[in-house]
Amino acid sequence: MEQTYIMIKPDGVQRNLIGEIVSKIEKKGYKIAAMKMIRISRETAEIHYGEHKGKPFFGGLVDFITSGPVVAMVVEGDDAVAGMRKMMGATNPLNAEFGTIRGDYGISVGRNIIHGSDSIESAKREIGIFFKNEEICSYERSLDSWIYEN
């Protein structure tokens, strides 16, 4: 099963959307292999957003993601990276389809509720930033046979 990193950002936490978002992920059929609420340090935020260092919006990203708690998750499933990206919707909520997380709950690009890895490589890197191997649970669900073909 493919794994991806998903983070409910401070605006999603403050707006009481944790349950709604987790419910959408689970109802879709994805499995949550790890989940925790954390307060990201500036140092960790700068590592996480490292590819944007030097860009004019870098400081704002770091300030925002460290402004309050986030919910960090490892989500598993077939094509989890692409599937979760589709579920999240376009980065700019104004361009996100209704029915997506950002389309339903977001209004501005700077407060777009959720982050998800954009590739398998990014997922591995981001999971490694926020989770130790022993924090990720491997388990079987009896309902998986109803979600996935053999």
Cβ–Cβ contacts within 10 Å for residue 78, how many?
A: 13
Amino acid type, 32: I
Helix count and strand count (H, E) for the chain? 8, 4
**Length of the chain (residues):** 150
Q: Which of 48, 85, 102, 115 is catalytic?
A: 115
Is 115 a residue of the active site? yes
Spatial distance between the Cα atoms of 142 and 12, rounded to a whole number of angstroms: 31
Cβ–Cβ contacts within 10 Å for residue 88, how many?
A: 23
CA angle 28, 33, 34 (to 5 degrees): 115
Active-site amino acid positions: 115
